[in-house]
Amino acid sequence: MTVKDVFVSAPGKAILHGEHAVVHGKVALAVSLNLRTYLRLKGTTTGNVCINLPNIDTFLCYDLSELKQLIPVSCGKREEGKPLDAELVRKLREFIGVTNGNLDNCNMATLSFLYIYISLFGSSELPSLTVSVWSELPTGAGLGSSAAYSVCLASALLCASGAIPAPLKESDQSARWCQEDLEQINSWAFQGEMIIHGNPSGVDNAVGTWGGMLRFLAGKIIPLSRVPLLRILLTNTKVPRSTKFPSIMTPVLDSVDAISCTCEKILSEMTCEPITGEHYNILEELIDINQHHLNVMGVGHPSLDTLCQVTLTKGLHSKLTGAGGGGCGITLLRPETDSSVVQTTVQDLKDCGFDCWETSIGGPGVQQHSPLSVKEEVLEILNRY
């Protein structure tokens, strides 16, 4: 059996509002970050399963006869949303020589791949194939790179196994799956995340799957139907206070909660009425207020202050995103922000020693692509393997 080729991509994730407050039972808004992970799956006849992860210098091939030994006795197609198959995990860890002290990105990515591959194909015939992945996302920066990888793996392998159809029609550049298929993708991506992270919240794989924006509250994840695409700069500054004084901190968390809810309302308005400058003014104001609150929570950092100041001199508003204490920040670009302003801002931030990407938030989740429609640079990298 030779499986069909599949080309997919999934977005990263940024927290728009509510980081830190979410652990205190407040709303957080997670948005898709249009820095994407691309995965190409090719059916082969080599009798090997190969995985190429050039971002982390990982290039591995396994003989199908070796992998067959790992299929659990009980293996049938596993139901979604179930805990990991402990026997398969144990066998795989032994197979690739993962000990507790050896949980690097390379091992985790391999484990996650083989787990989903064997789980989906173990009950029939293991197919010969090669998976190559390239990501625009920095790893370990809290931007959901592992989830984007797991979502790509899940969608491509589910598609190759025939569990879900390939949505791409001949004339399409890219296509999305129906809601039911996305749920299956998300569920398998969550299994991959469990292998990589142990106890993931499920937010990252949900954003990678559905894209757009998700409302996250007390462990419940609610995808929001429609949100506008917002241009942003994402800056990695490359560099936390305790919540003492509950009487001072508790109301700040309430205010952050209200910021998330107000932001959600504004973004929803922007999808059903004409977008105005006032919408952007409010989004900017919410960013400023939340950045002050995050400073109050003690998760600011001088490098993030620098980010805010540098961008404000260009009339652009920034806040930290994610864990803070250094790390990444997002800067909202307005529709009318001129590309020359964007370019000088990016240069100023690079001059501060930061990495900086012009991208967008609120874009689509996992997609299948026609290889012809994928950016030249991504294709070029993936075609090397």
Residue 251 sits in the site that holds a copy of itself (CB under 8 A): yes
Q: Residue 237: which of 179, 323, 135 has the closest Cα? A: 323
Residue 248 sits in the site that holds a copy of itself (CB under 8 A): yes
Comparison of 59 and 245: residue with beta carbon closer to a copy of itself: 245
Q: In the bound complex, what is the minimum distance in angstroms from residue 354's beta carbon to a copy of itself?
A: 19
Task: Enter the tokens of residue 230.
Answer: 């917002």
Of the residues 85, 181, 204, 257, only one is catalytic, namely 204
- Is 146 annotated in the active site? yes
Comparison of 77 and 265: residue with beta carbon closer to a copy of itself: 265
Using CB under 8 A, pick the residue from 112, 295, 311, 367 that binds a copy of itself: 295
Q: Which stretch binds a copy of itself (CB under 8 A): 69-77, 157-165, 227-235, 289-297?
A: 289-297
Residue 174 sits in the site that holds a copy of itself (CB under 8 A): no
Q: 50: exposed, middle or buried (C-beta count within 10 Å: 0-12, 13-18, 19+)? A: middle
Q: Which stretch binds a copy of itself (CB under 8 A): 101-109, 115-123, 173-181, 251-259?
A: 251-259
Contact present, 324 and 296 (Cβ < 8 Å) = no
Which positions from 335 to 374 touch a copy of itself by CB under 8 A, shown as an x/- string? ----------------------------------------
d(CA 207, CA 32): 6
Q: In the bound complex, what is the minimum distance in angstroms from residue 217's beta carbon to a copy of itself?
A: 16
Question: 215: Cβ–Cβ under 8 A, 6 or more apart, which residues?
Answer: 27, 28, 29, 221, 222, 224, 260, 264
Residue 293 sits in the site that holds a copy of itself (CB under 8 A): yes
Q: Which stretch binds a copy of itself (CB under 8 A): 53-61, 92-100, 113-121, 292-300?
A: 292-300
Contact present, 307 and 331 (Cβ < 8 Å) = yes
Comparison of 106 and 289: residue with beta carbon closer to a copy of itself: 289
Which residue is listed with tokens 């700069």?
Answer: 233
Geometric angle at alpha carbon 105, from 240 and 217, rounded to 5°: 50
Q: In the bound complex, what is the minimum distance in angstroms from residue 296's beta carbon to a copy of itself?
A: 5
Q: In the bound complex, what is the minimum distance in angstroms from residue 327's beta carbon to a copy of itself?
A: 19
Contact present, 257 and 27 (Cβ < 8 Å) = yes
Using CB under 8 A, pick the residue from 107, 243, 255, 370 that binds a copy of itself: 255
Which residue is listed with tokens 């210098």?
Answer: 57
Residue 266 sits in the site that holds a copy of itself (CB under 8 A): no
**φ and ψ at 233, to 5 degrees?**
-105, 140
Instruction: Report residue 279 CA to chain centroid gap.
Output: 26
Query: Do the bridges between strand 48-53 and strand 6-17 make them parallel or antiparallel, or are there none, so unpaired?
Result: unpaired
Q: Residue 366: which of 212, 216, 139, 143 has the closest Cα? A: 212
d(CA 295, CA 379): 41
- Is 288 annotated in the active site? no
Q: Catalytic positions, please?
A: 146, 204
- Footprint on this chain of a copy of itself (rule: CB under 8 A): 245, 247-255, 258-259, 261-262, 286, 288-289, 292-293, 295-296
